[in-house]
């Protein structure tokens, strides 16, 4: 159905595999539109309880396809019309999102990984804020995410020096959740995403919603947003099941509703 990505749903986990391996999965207009559509599809599908991004071949994504960049391109317009909507679709998804970073993540490919809730890093993966190397500034929400994750000082270093960061270094910096060896890669990734897909999905969505408000609201306002969220969580079947399972001294079986 899609040309530049593979979209697959298995056991509650939707996978978007970026699929332009000859260019290390560089983004072109079609790929950006297809990712945006697939994320929305995952959002609407009640069977999907976790979304995962990964890359075909040896790269995760090398960012914008530089073969498509010329002096006629209005970079601001490309961001507003293409990258912005893609990043918003990911940020607005009230389900857990995992980047399974199999190889290099550069430029907007790094931004895409940063927008996810979890980053599983193959030991072969690396991270480059490559924008500066072509005279640009990090975009697609990159600095917003980076500053939240590592603070101002490290965000400046990573963005101005534009150096390649190894998986181990990324873990040390707090950029990734976990580093995984190549021999266990597929198994550990599917264990992790499978685990997320069995959690109370509505509550995860509400946690994400509340966290987004934490920086911008006053404490009083935040408490109100929290109360609204907890009211919704309190009405879910998964909440009932969690309490029931506790009382019956058994493991809960959450259905995501």
Q: Which residues lie below 8 Å from residue 116, measured CB to CB, with a gap of 6+?
A: 53, 90, 97, 98, 99
Rounded to a whole number of angstroms, the minimum distance from the CB of residue 63 to ligand LHQ is: 3
- The gap from C-alpha 88 to its chain's centroid, in whole angstroms, comes to 11
Nearer to ligand LHQ, 42 or 128 (CB): 128
Rounded to a whole number of angstroms, the minimum distance from the CB of residue 83 to ligand LHQ is: 6
Strands 126-128 and 165-166 come out as antiparallel
100 interacts with ligand LHQ by CB under 6 A: no
Nearer to ligand LHQ, 126 or 236 (CB): 126
Q: Write a three-state SS string for 110-168.
A: HHHHHHCCEEEEECCCEEECHHHHHCCCCCCCHHHHHHHHHHHHHHHHHHHHCCCEEHH
Rounded to a whole number of angstroms, the minimum distance from the CB of residue 164 to ligand LHQ is: 7
Single residue of 128, 143, 176, 197 touching ligand LHQ by CB under 6 A: 128
Q: b/e for 85-111, b at 16 or more Cβ within 10 A?
A: bbbebbbebebbbbbbbbbbbbbbbbb
Alpha-carbon separation of residue 157 from 12, 141, 173 (angstroms): 38, 17, 12
Nearer to ligand LHQ, 55 or 63 (CB): 63
253 interacts with ligand LHQ by CB under 6 A: no
Question: Which region among 39-47, 59-67, 190-198, 239-247 touches ligand LHQ (by CB under 6 A)?
Answer: 59-67
Which residues, numbered 10-49, are part of the site for ligand LHQ (CB under 6 A)?
A: 23-24, 26
134 interacts with ligand LHQ by CB under 6 A: yes
Which residues, numbered 185-224, are part of the site for ligand LHQ (CB under 6 A)?
A: none
Evaluate whether 113 touches 129 at the Cβ level (below 8 Å): no
229 interacts with ligand LHQ by CB under 6 A: no
Nearer to ligand LHQ, 77 or 216 (CB): 77
Q: Enumerate binding residues for ligand LHQ (CB under 6 A).
A: 23-24, 26, 62-67, 69, 75, 78-79, 83, 104, 106-108, 128, 130-131, 133-134, 136, 139
């Amino acid at each position: 159905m899609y040309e530049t990505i593979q979209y697959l749903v298995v056991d509650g986990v939707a996978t978007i595999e970026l699929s332009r391996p000859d260019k290390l999965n560089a983004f072109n207009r079609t790929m950006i539109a297809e990712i945006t559509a697939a994320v929305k599809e995952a959002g609407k599908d009640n069977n999907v309880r976790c979304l995962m991004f990964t890359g075909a071949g040896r790269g995760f994504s090398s960012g914008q396809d530089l073969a498509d960049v010329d002096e006629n391109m209005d970079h601001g317009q490309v961001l507003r019309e293409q990258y912005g909507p893609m990043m918003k679709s990911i940020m607005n998804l009230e389900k857990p999102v995992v980047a399974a970073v199999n190889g290099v993540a550069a430029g907007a490919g790094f931004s895409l990984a940063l927008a996810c809730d979890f980053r599983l890093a193959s030991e072969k993966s690396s991270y480059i804020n490559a924008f500066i190397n072509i005279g640009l500034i990090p975009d697609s929400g990159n600095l917003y995410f980076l500053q939240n994750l590592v603070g101002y000082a490290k965000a400046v270093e990573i963005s101005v020096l534009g150096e390649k960061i190894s998986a181990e270094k990324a873990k040390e910096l707090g950029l990734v959740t976990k580093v995984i060896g190549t021999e266990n890669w597929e198994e550990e990734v599917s264990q992790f995403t499978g685990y997320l897909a069995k959690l109370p999905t509505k509550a995860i969505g509400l946690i994400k919603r509340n966290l987004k408000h934490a920086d911008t609201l006053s404490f009083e306002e935040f408490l109100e947003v929290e109360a609204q969220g907890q009211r919704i969580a309190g009405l879910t079947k998964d909440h009932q099941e969690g309490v029931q399972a506790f009382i019956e001294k058994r493991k809960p079986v959450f259905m995501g509703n």
